[in-house]
């Protein structure tokens, strides 16, 4: 119903209305809205293309004109180029929406402000550590989820730090003696560290991905268990959005560990098949990242931008009443620049009641109740 | 308006808080109540107003529109879900933009939470917790026909004005049969605060 009924009789509820059920959401995958304006789509394609070209150039030059490029890893490298395109495309569409665009600008304005930096030089690194590194906010939701997410996070980060540069030909391992055990690790051709392949450091270097796989399997197993047992998590759960990412992480980790198992215990038995299985699961996951749950990896830094914006505007206003209070009950709402930013967003969206943002939620309800009491049902009789 | 929805009748509400307690039992936000019970004329009247999410249809979910992280999902059945835990950045845009003052926020957890029409129950044909326990029928869950079967001739409204904007909602309110008027005033523009004329 989009128009107020003109008669005293409200239109009856549509019998054809779909019954409530765990139906797929209209923005279920969180992917770019199909209604994104053509100009935004063009900008997104441009951004995606530019980032992909930059990555290809970085691969070519970083691998010393492909001299260090490992052609066996070509599918992975191609998948990262698709990933770069997808992330840049989706990111551009995302920050083109009014809410995200305004907060994006304010976040970066706070980030680049020299005055803010002088006033609170440790604010940004502290926020990056708490929000992005140790994710303290997850601990406030649930300690178990925090622990499992930390395992997933550090496992994935370790795996990405090892594999991305390897597939791009940026990391190389060379040995002056041909077959070792002395090895040098090189980045872009420059020697970084020399180590004994049979020593502890060597073991760590060559089993970094196995360690990452164990961390990821532990974290993903907890979340899979939770998705099957926790009734809160199950509410509105969607297979493609909530379960596929966890299954993908487990498949990648298990097939990766099996590669090590094959080379140590099976003398390479089944290695070819496992390598293809592993590659397919990784390529699928990389291409899935921009369009499903994994996009939160790209979005989460917005939390830092938002917090920095609020934090710096609060500090700027010290003693100047910069925290806006509710017009009715005088309880604090948020910083004045934040409320002004929200009102701007609401005006962008043609939500004509932006003035309402200067009242706290409780007063909005009470005032609505009072209006109902006065004008609709006198005395609620 | 949705086929099956909540109908709120503030005239029947006795402010007993049963809905507030029952809401805590909802699986999707265990231990935290999402329904609001306010006293619009406290000290002078016993009038009380229960507020659940109104599941705005036009403009569709202002909370979701202002969300910078695309965290609020509107399912195909018109239910505005609470924020996706992986996406919500805890900015409180939705809290301050909602014309009905519905969403809550946990600043430590950086997470918005709101009434989701007890999706864990309504998705399986059960009534929401609040409507299940309400002793006076101030919160009724069902179709308009079912409501009218119990309360013949009852009139409901599902549009509210806030200044010059009219918001149509999925949840409806009971209005007196003799003075059915749409849309229902939403409280904006504010004409009076604590007895003081602010026009």
Question: pLDDT of B4-62, one tens digit each?
Answer: 999 999 999 999 999 999 999 998 888 999 999 999 888 888 899 999 999 999 999 99
Q: Are A173 and A196 in contact (CB under 8 A)?
A: no
B49 torsion bin: left (phi>0), alpha (psi -120 to 50), beta (else): beta
Q: Domain boundaries in chain A?
A: 32-96, 317-380
Report how far residue A154's alpha carbon sits from residue A210's, in angstroms, rounded to the nearest whole number: 13
* Closest residue to B10, CB basis, from A231, A235, A377: A377
Q: Pick A141's closest partner by Cβ from B77, B85, B117.
A: B85
User: Out of B57, B65, B74, whose CB is closest to A1?
Assistant: B57
CA distance B159 to chain A (A): 6
DSSP-derived letter for residue A2 is -
Return the closest-CA partner of residue B14 out of B134, B186, B130. B134
Q: Specify the pLDDT at position B190.
A: 82
Structure tokens, B102: 């519905």
Residue with tokens 């997104």: A44
DSSP, res A132: I
Other beta carbons within 10 Å of A161: 13
The total domain count for chain B is 1
What does the block give as tokens for A305?
Answer: 């931008």
Residue B40 near residue A244 (C-beta atoms within 8 A): no
Q: Give the chain A residue nearest B157 (alpha carbons).
A: A10
Q: Which of A375, A350, A344 is nearest to A100 (CA)?
A: A344
Return d(Cα A119, Cα B18) in angstroms, integer: 49
Nearest to B120 by CA among B132, B130, B129, B111: B129
pLDDT at A25: 36
**HSE (side-chain half, CA atoms, 13 Å) at A355:** 11
Distance from CA of A75 to the nearest CA of B (A): 29
Q: How far A255 CA lies from chain B's nearest CA (Å)?
A: 26
* 3-class DSSP assignment, residue B140: strand
R_g over Cα of chain B: 17
Contact B49 A342 (CB under 8 A): no
Give the pLDDT score at A98.
93
Q: For tokens 């918001």, what's the residue?
A: B167
What percentage of chain A exceeds 70 in pLDDT? 88
Cα A374 to Cα A157: distance, rounded to the nearest angstrom:
59
Per-residue confidence (pLDDT) for residue A179, from 0 to 100: 75
CA distances from residue B133 to A260, B26, B114 in whole angstroms, order as listed: 58, 12, 19
Asked if residues A323 and A317 have their Cβ atoms less than 8 Å apart, the reply is yes
Give the orientation angle of helix A98-112 with respect to helix A336-348, to 10 degrees.
Answer: 150
Measured in whole angstroms, the distance separating CA A69 from the mean position of its chain's CA atoms is 29
Q: Which residue has the higher pLDDT, A235 or A18?
A: A235
Q: Which chain A residue's Cα is nearest to B165?
A: A352
Task: Look at residue A324 and give its three-state secondary structure.
Answer: strand
Angle in degrees, 0-180, between the axes of helices A74-94 and A271-288, rounded to the nearest 10: 10
Residue B24 parent element (H or E): none
On whether any CB of chain A is under 8 Å from the CB of B20, the answer is no
SS3 content of chain A, % helix, strand, coil (to 5): 65, 5, 25
Mean pLDDT by 10 residues, chain B (199 residues): 86 95 92 95 89 95 96 94 95 97 95 95 93 97 95 91 93 83 83 68
Contacts of A161 (CB under 8 A, 6+ apart): none
**Strands across the sheet with A182-187, in order?**
A171-174, A182-187, A190-196
CATH classification at residue B22: 3.30.70.20
* A317-374 pLDDT, tens digit each: 554 548 899 999 999 999 999 999 999 999 999 999 999 999 999 999 999 999 888 8
pLDDT in tens, A186-223: 999 999 999 998 899 999 988 999 999 999 999 999 99
> CA dist B45 to A233, A369, B167, Å?
41, 12, 28
Chain A within 8 Å of B129 (Cβ-Cβ)?
A: no
What range defines the domain where residue B105 resides?
A: 5-197
B62 touches chain A (CB under 8 A): yes
CB pairs under 8 A between A and B: 297
Is a pLDDT exceeding 80 seen at residue A5? no
d(CA A299, CA B68): 10
Q: Is B55 on the interface with A (CB under 8 A)?
A: no
- Using a CB-CB cut-off of 8 Å, the residues of chain A touching B101 are 360-365, 368
Distances (CA, A) of A201 to A125, A184, A207, A379, B137: 30, 12, 10, 78, 70
- Across chain A, mean pLDDT equals 88
Residues of chain B contacting residue A371, judged by C-beta atoms under 8 Å apart: 184-187
B135 — contact with chain A (CB < 8 Å)? no
Task: Please list every residue in chain B whose beta carbon sits closer than 8 Å to the beta carbon of residue A1.
Answer: 1, 57-58, 158-159, 168
Q: Taking 80 as the threshold, does the pLDDT of residue A275 lie above it?
A: yes
pLDDT of residue B179: 64
Regarding beta strands B155-162 and B184-188, do their DSSP bridges make them parallel or antiparallel, or are they unpaired? parallel
CB contact under 8 Å between A140 and B81, yes or no, is no
Tokens of A140: 């406030």
């Amino acid at each position: 119903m989009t128009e107020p009924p003109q008669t005293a009789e409200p239109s009856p509820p549509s019998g054809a209305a779909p019954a409530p059920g765990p139906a797929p959401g209209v923005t279920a995958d969180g992917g770019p809205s199909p209604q994104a304006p053509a100009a935004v789509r063009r900008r997104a394609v441009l951004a995606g293309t530019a980032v992909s070209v930059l990555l290809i150039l970085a691969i070519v030059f970083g691998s010393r004109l492909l001299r260090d490029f490992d052609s066996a890893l070509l599918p992975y490298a191609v998948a990262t180029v698709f990933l770069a395109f997808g992330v840049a495309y989706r990111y551009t569409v995302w920050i083109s929406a009014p809410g995200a665009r305004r907060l994006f600008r304010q976040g970066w304005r706070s980030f680049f402000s020299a005055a803010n930096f002088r006033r609170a030089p440790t604010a940004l690194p502290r926020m990056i550590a708490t929000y992005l590194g140790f994710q303290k906010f997850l601990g406030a939701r649930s300690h178990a989820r925090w622990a499992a997410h930390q395992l997933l996070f550090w496992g994935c980060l370790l795996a990405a730090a090892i594999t991305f540069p390897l597939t791009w030909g940026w990391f190389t391992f060379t040995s002056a003696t041909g077959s070792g055990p002395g090895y040098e690790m090189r980045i872009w051709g420059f020697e970084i560290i020399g180590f004994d392949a049979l020593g502890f450091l060597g073991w760590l270097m060559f089993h970094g991905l196995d360690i990452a796989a164990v961390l990821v399997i532990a974290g993903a197993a907890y979340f899979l268990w939770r998705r099957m047992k926790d009734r809160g998590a199950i509410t509105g759960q969607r297979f493609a959005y909530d379960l596929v990412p966890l299954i993908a992480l487990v498949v990648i980790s298990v097939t990766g560990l099996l590669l090590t198992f094959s080379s140590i215990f099976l003398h390479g038995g089944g290695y070819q098949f496992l390598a293809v299985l592993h590659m397919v699961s990784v390529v699928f996951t990389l291409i899935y990242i921009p369009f499903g749950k994994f996009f939160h990896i790209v979005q989460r830094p917005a939390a830092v931008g938002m917090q920095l914006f609020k934090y710096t505007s609060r500090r700027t206003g010290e003693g100047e009443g910069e925290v806006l209070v509710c017009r009715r009950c005088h309880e604090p709402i948020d910083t004045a620049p934040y409320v002004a930013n929200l009102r701007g967003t609401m005006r962008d969206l043609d939500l004509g009641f932006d003035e309402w943002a200067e009242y706290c939620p409780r007063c909005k309800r009470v005032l609505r109740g009072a209006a109902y009491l006065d004008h609709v049902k006198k005395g609620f009789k | 308006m949705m086929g099956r929805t909540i109908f709120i009748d503030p005239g029947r509400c006795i402010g007993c808080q049963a809905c507030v307690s029952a809401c805590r039992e909802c699986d999707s936000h265990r231990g935290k109540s999402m329904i609001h019970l306010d006293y619009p004329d406290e000290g002078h009247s016993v009038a009380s107003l229960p507020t659940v999410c109104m599941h705005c249809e036009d403009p569709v979910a202002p909370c979701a529109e202002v969300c910078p992280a695309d965290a609020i999902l509107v399912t195909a059945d018109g239910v505005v879900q609470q924020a996706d835990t992986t996406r919500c950045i805890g900015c409180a845009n939705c809290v301050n933009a909602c014309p009905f003052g519905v969403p809550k926020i946990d600043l430590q957890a950086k997470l918005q939470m709101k009434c989701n029409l007890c999706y864990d129950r309504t998705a399986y044909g059960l009534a929401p917790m609040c409507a299940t326990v309400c002793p006076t029928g101030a919160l009724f869950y069902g179709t308009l026909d079912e409501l009218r079967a119990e309360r013949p001739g009852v009139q409901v409204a599902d549009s509210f004005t806030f200044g010059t904007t009219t918001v149509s909602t999925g949840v409806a309110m009971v209005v007196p049969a003799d003075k059915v008027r749409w849309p229902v005033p939403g409280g904006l523009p504010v004409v009076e605060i604590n007895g003081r004329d602010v026009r």
